[in-house]
Structure 1
Amino acid sequence: MSFTPPESGSPQHQAQAWWLRLHSGEATRADADAFREWATRNAAHAQAWREVMRVWSSIDPLLIEEAARQALPPRRARGLPGWRGGSRALPSSPGRRAFLGGAVAAAVAAVVVQPPLGLWPSVEELAADYRTATGEQRQLALAPSVDVRMNTQTLINRVGRDGFELVAGEAEVALAGTGAFFVDAGGGRLQANAARINVRYTGPQVCVTCLEGRVTVSVAGQQRTLEEGRQMFYDRTGLQEPVRADLASVGAWRSGVLSFDRVPLADVIAEINRYRPGKVFLRNDELGRTPVRMQIALRSIDNAPLMIRERYGARMRSLPGGFVVLS
């Protein structure tokens, strides 16, 4: 039986699925015949295939290595100490075939969990009740007394009438006080009545900031109340002690500006990648530890790599698809 790409997806999504299948080492003669029929069916399919070939053929072995690391199962990847900046041995030749063969099991057709380099939305993203794309912000009125502002790369699922799950990303939740409401994130639950809170879940930990009022945080059998101006981190194992929040920094994304004060460059680039299409890769660990002071307007986020090159002496290589290598 030949491989069939997801017909419900866009031509670009289908072309990406075909690329992975044909380079997986498992393609059959029937696959080749089916691909030929798909590619010649209409002009949109042909154009999508040309674009996919252009992007993938431009990705050099450095980016292939990064993509292979991202194709690891999420639990393993998050568990590797310093995995973002580490290296992983890969066959030197053929680079693209080695990457695609390893990634196809987790990144092909309708079972895409961690799409390589984020080139298309995952199944989790497509299935979310509400989502924002890279660089997008969105306002939701989930109830007459519940307003939610979603930041970039955020996924939300409704949970009944009185709550929602923050699957990933960042959101500000404003509750007018007409009834209890909850937010689930990262194995914990936040409950409040009249409050304004910022919740960020972009890594192993969840960060909760109480901007107004108070919110109760519960996880792993522990519970604490967070007062206005306080911030708390937690993961599935428990809560950390509350600390005083830098409210200006927490709310910077709502004003359209990213502000960094003595933040390591590696962390700055990770934040830039949340807002900028494509991806910026840093290939210099020493440079990544450089403390950075800078402000970047979200409307000109594409210029961020240039700013880093000019201010911190990084070498820069630009590739199609928004990919940039700094070293």
Structure 2
Amino acid sequence: MSSSDPESLLQRQAEAWWVRLHSGRATRADADAFRQWTSLSAAHAQAWREVMRVWSALDPLLAEEAARQVSRARPFSWPGLSGALRSPGRRAFLGGAVAASVAAGVLAIDPPLGLWPSVGELTADYRTATGEQRQVALGEDVSLRMNTQTLVNRIGAGANLRGVELLAGEAEIATAGNADFFVETGGGRLQARGARFNIRHTGPQVCVTCLDGRVLVSVGGQQRSVEAGRQVVFDRAGIQDVVRADVDNVSTWRTGVLSFDSTPLAEVIEEINRYRPGKVILRNEALGRTLVRMQLSLRSIDNALVMIRELYGAKVRSLPGGIVLLS
């Protein structure tokens, strides 16, 4: 069906209304406008019923994801919350009572399926949206290049800027001059002067790759000196040994291309989700272990799903909000 067909247009409008009304930001004016939209014709009403049907089928998956996130976030693991999310009468947390109670806690910090911005995204000094890359000049001697889904706060201000805190994501930082520049991230502290380095903090571990110069990495009293062409991985528990880096692979995101060579499909999907709005959900563990070789352009990231379907026999089901199920 062509995207210009009236039926397709109504479906997209209905999907947009669903996301808006269940985002937690809808106003009374939105509700009035929605009621007016559904009453325009029988086709409008039917488009809305179809979107409701699709999202209702997806609802258990959303409840499962919300319960998983609540269980791993100790400060917000309130008694009975997971059970409430699984309750048939209240599991639709996108618009029900559970949403109201959780929105101020874990789901605001770590939104399920990335369906709305987190508190961190809204309050960070610098941030990039999904698929966005951004260059920031932090002064005459420091430049910051941010990859997709990256959150950065300043440490100090103006002439007193001493460094940044990388809350999440990936960034390349270049420093010049004689002053030390500091980066705090994932429980560690980086110190550099006249260096260029890449930091990736997309999970519990942080990977620091030195591209030029030298970076001193400190974690819990341990230190590693990382020279050009070398990298080190650390988490809050400690720091690993410095190893040789695949510099070309580390820097591919700056060229707009992702390359995979004998990479498990589950890891490929995780990387695709960093650059693609919505969420690709892999529902087949055996398929996730399939080794993948492919090269993807970030400008046409959705082509990856077509390639996965054609090359590896995956079944692809598209749902509203950019959610895709692979099985």
Instruction: State TM-score, norm by structure 1.
Output: 0.78
Unaligned runs of 5+ in 2: 1-17, 38-43, 75-82
2:78 is matched with none
Which one of the candidate residues 147, 156, 163 is aligned to 1:151? 147
Q: Does the residue aligned with 1:189 lie in a helix, a strand or coil?
A: strand
1:134 is matched with 130
In structure 2, do the counterparts of structure 1 residues 120 and 13 end up closer, same or farther at CA, with 3 Å as the change threshold?
farther
Shift of 1:65: 2.4
User: 1:38 & 1:66 partners in 2: Cα distance?
Assistant: 24
Counting only pairs closer than 5 Å after superposition, residues 187-206 of structure 1 correspond to structure 2 as 187-206=187-206
Deviates more, 1:184-193 or 1:90-99: 90-99
1:300 is matched with 300
1:39 is matched with 31
Counting only pairs closer than 5 Å after superposition, residues 50-199 of structure 1 correspond to structure 2 as 57-59=53-55, 61=57, 64-66=60-62, 68-70=64-66, 72-73=68-69, 76=72, 91=86, 93=88, 96-97=91-92, 104-107=100-103, 112-160=108-156, 161-199=161-199
2:268 is matched with 268
In structure 2, do the counterparts of structure 1 residues 37 and 294 end up closer, same or farther at CA, with 3 Å as the change threshold?
closer
1:4 is matched with none
State the one-letter code of the partner of 2:117: P
Q: Conserved in 2, the CA contact under 8 Å of 1:91 and 1:98?
A: no
1:16 is matched with 23
Q: Conserved in 2, the CA contact under 8 Å of 1:177 and 1:195?
A: no
Pair 1:257-2:257 in alignment: yes
Deviates more, 1:131-140 or 1:67-76: 67-76
Cα RMSD, aligned residues only = 3.4
1:226 is matched with 226
State the one-letter code of the partner of 1:262: S
User: 2:19 & 2:59 partners in 1: Cα distance?
Assistant: 20
In structure 2, do the counterparts of structure 1 residues 239 and 132 end up closer, same or farther at CA, with 3 Å as the change threshold?
same
Q: Conserved in 2, the CA contact under 8 Å of 1:71 and 1:116?
A: no
Matched-pair identity in %: 58
Count residues with an aligned counterpart: 290
User: 2:217 & 2:35 partners in 1: Cα distance?
Assistant: 49
User: 2:65 & 2:251 partners in 1: Cα distance?
Assistant: 32
Unaligned runs of 5+ in 1: 1-10, 20-34, 79-87
User: 2:208 & 2:36 partners in 1: Cα distance?
Assistant: 47
User: 1:108 & 1:302 partners in 2: Cα distance?
Assistant: 33
Q: Conserved in 2, the CA contact under 8 Å of 1:14 and 1:109?
A: no
2:290 is matched with 290
